[in-house]
């Protein structure tokens, strides 16, 4: 009897210890999950203008360019995704910093510190390029919707998407509108999933990702120019800068003086936002090229006219899953990009002439600002009924971007490097060097685009 009691006494602490360990592991696991969730929530809260700007870069015209790259040259140009990422992020960080420190949009700053004729020419070319891009994107969205429901009328679809995008900009508060854009950016993940749905040859993919390769053919140079033009576009510069100002106003900093007071923490958070957005943009570029390479290129489909063509070509090769994700992605990215294209042109023109501007204002408070958004979008709508080839429209917009981007990049670098304007928030020497590098590349791209038309 005494032996049994002794065994229970000895056994009880062991059982208690074991149960205690189980409980502590469960609590630790729950606590760890809560901490992970909290970190993820805080990270998501930090994301804003940088995320939506990066996502808008992958609009239907960009998707068509990346699809054509993979279809025509396979995985050879995958290295461009990693190459353009830091260059694109550096430029957008400069733009964001200008907006945060000065409390003004990019056009407003150019108007104050440079000859107005430079600004007017850049703004006009931006409006033309953006309007052509809007038309092409609206058409691509309608075509993608027809892939999902062939009986739907093209004209009604284009008009419907136009009304939807205008309504969101004009009749939705900026706070709700910004949240809509932020969540809509996640539609880009559909392209990652569509790529993972096919069998990628990862050794071949990784090899072309880290080892640059170029053939210097006319077709390849044109595509590289197109990629540079669609990833580092002027409309992103104006949108990023103005959205930083909008975010400050949303936080209650309604006066110019209050918006000029920027803390180190705010700059740090902005950089996290910008680099995250540009990473997402280039990640999607990478997976679209990779998916097109292992499906379309591998099966001899080397000519892609539109993003809808790419989705349709994927169906018999990659199956319904990749096809549906690709088609839905076109619609989602179009809904994200069209308002940003129209909005950035309106910010530029309104700030150029000193008109009241901002999505935080109502229609009556900034009628000229919203009027430009409406005009630009309606012209884009009309382009779809004038018999203008969508691809030619995109090429013409690329030419306009190729002409205006280097000029605006020079102005951005000079503004963000001027201590009289930026105070202690001027460019780091490495940032300035990368800025001048991408400016040189954009000049080469612009010249190459023009030469190809001669």
Q: Which residue has the higher pLDDT, 403 or 240?
A: 240
For every residue of the chain, which 3-state class applies, written as one string?
CHHHHHHHHHHHHHHHHHHHHHHHHHHHHHHHHHHHHHHHHHHHHHCCHHHHHHHHCCCHHHHHHHHHHHHHHHHHHCHHHHHHHHHHHHHHHHHHHHHHHHCCCHHHHHHHHCCHHHHHHHHHHHHHHHHHHHHHHHHHHHHHHHHHCCCCCHHHHHHHHHHHHHHHHHHCCHHHHHHHHHHHHHHHHHHHHHHHCCCCCHHHHHHHHHCCCCCCCHHHHHHHHHHHHHHCCHHHHHHHHHHHHHHHHHCCCCCHHHHHCCCHHHHHHHHHHHHHHHHHHHHHHHHHHHHHHHHCHHHCCCCCCCHHHHHHHHHHHHCHHHHHHHHHHHHHHHHHHHHHHHHHHHHHHHHHCCCCCCCCCCCCCCHHHHHHHHHHHHHHHHHCCCCCCHHHHHHHHHHHHHHHHHHHHHHHHHHHCCHHHHCCCCCCHHHHHHHHHHHHHHHHHHHHHHHHHC
Round the average pLDDT of the chain to a whole number and report it.
Answer: 82
Q: Where are the domains of the chain?
A: 1-46, 49-453
| Each residue's pLDDT tens digit, 339-357 | 889 999 999 999 999 898 8
* pTM of the shown model: 0.83
The answer, yes or no, to whether residue 181 has pLDDT greater than 70, is yes
The answer, yes or no, to whether residue 5 has pLDDT greater than 50, is no
| Each residue's pLDDT tens digit, 90-143 | 999 999 999 999 988 999 999 999 998 989 988 998 898 899 889 988 988 888
Query: Residue 189's pLDDT is what?
Result: 79
Share of the chain above pLDDT 70, in %: 85
The answer, yes or no, to whether residue 24 has pLDDT greater than 60, is no
The answer, yes or no, to whether residue 2 has pLDDT greater than 50, is no
Query: Residue 9's pLDDT is what?
Result: 43
| Each residue's pLDDT tens digit, 63-91 | 888 888 888 898 999 999 999 999 999 99
Confidence of residue 452 (pLDDT cuts 50, 70, 90): low
Contacts of 378 (CB under 8 A, 6+ apart): 162
The answer, yes or no, to whether residue 315 has pLDDT greater than 80, is no
Share of the chain above pLDDT 90, in %: 29
The CATH number of 49-453, from 1.10.286, 1.10.4160, 1.20.1630, 1.10.3470, is: 1.10.4160
The answer, yes or no, to whether residue 381 has pLDDT greater than 90, is yes
The answer, yes or no, to whether residue 416 has pLDDT greater than 90, is yes
Q: Which residue has the higher pLDDT, 10 or 271?
A: 271
Query: Residue 237's pLDDT is what?
Result: 92
């Amino acid at each position: 009897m005494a032996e049994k009691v002794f065994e229970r006494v000895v056994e009880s602490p062991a059982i208690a210890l074991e149960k205690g360990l189980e409980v502590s592991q469960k609590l630790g696991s729950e606590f760890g999950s809560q901490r992970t969730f909290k970190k993820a929530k805080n990270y998501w809260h930090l994301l804003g203008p940088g995320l939506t700007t990066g996502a808008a870069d992958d609009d239907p015209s960009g998707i068509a360019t990346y699809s054509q790259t993979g279809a025509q040259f396979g995985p050879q140009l995958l290295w461009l995704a990693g190459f353009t990422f830091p260059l694109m992020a550096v430029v957008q960080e400069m733009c964001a910093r200008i907006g945060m420190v000065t409390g003004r949009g990019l056009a407003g700053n150019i108007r104050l510190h440079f000859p107005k004729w430079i600004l007017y020419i850049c703004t006009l070319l931006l409006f033309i390029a953006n309007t052509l891009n809007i038309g092409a994107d609206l058409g691509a969205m309608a075509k993608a919707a027809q892939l999902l429901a062939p009986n739907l009328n093209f004209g009604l679809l284009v008009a419907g998407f136009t009304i939807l995008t205008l309504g969101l900009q004009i009749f939705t508060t900026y706070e709700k509108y910004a949240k809509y854009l932020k969540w809509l950016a996640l539609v880009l993940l559909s392209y990652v999933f569509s790529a993972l749905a096919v069998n990628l040859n990862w050794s071949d993919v990784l090899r072309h990702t880290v080892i640059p390769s170029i053939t210097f053919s006319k077709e390849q140079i044109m595509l590289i120019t197109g990629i540079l033009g669609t990833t580092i576009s002027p409309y992103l510069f104006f949108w990023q800068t103005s959205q930083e100002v909008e975010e400050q106003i949303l936080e209650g900093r309604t006066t110019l003086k209050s918006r000029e007071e920027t803390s180190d923490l705010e700059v740090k958070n902005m950089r996290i936002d910008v680099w995250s957005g540009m990473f997402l943009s280039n990640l999607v570029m990478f997976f679209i090229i990779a998916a097109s390479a292992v499906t379309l290129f591998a099966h001899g489909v080397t000519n892609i006219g539109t993003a809808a063509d790419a989705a349709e070509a994927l169906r018999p090769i990659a199956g319904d899953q990749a096809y549906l994700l690709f088609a839905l992605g076109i619609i989602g990215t179009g809904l994200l990009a069209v308002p940003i294209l129209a909005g950035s042109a309106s910010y530029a023109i309104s700030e150029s002439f000193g008109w009241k501007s901002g999505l935080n204002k109502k229609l009556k408070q900034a009628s000229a600002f919203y009027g430009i958004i409406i005009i630009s979008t309606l012209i884009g709508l009309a382009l779809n009924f004038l018999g203008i080839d969508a691809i030619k429209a995109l090429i013409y917009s690329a030419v306009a971007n190729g002409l205006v981007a280097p000029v605006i990049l020079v102005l951005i670098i000079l503004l963000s490097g001027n201590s009289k304007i930026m105070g202690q928030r001027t460019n780091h020497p490495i940032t300035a060097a990368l800025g001048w590098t991408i400016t040189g590349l954009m000049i080469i791209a612009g010249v190459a685009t023009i030469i190809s038309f001669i």
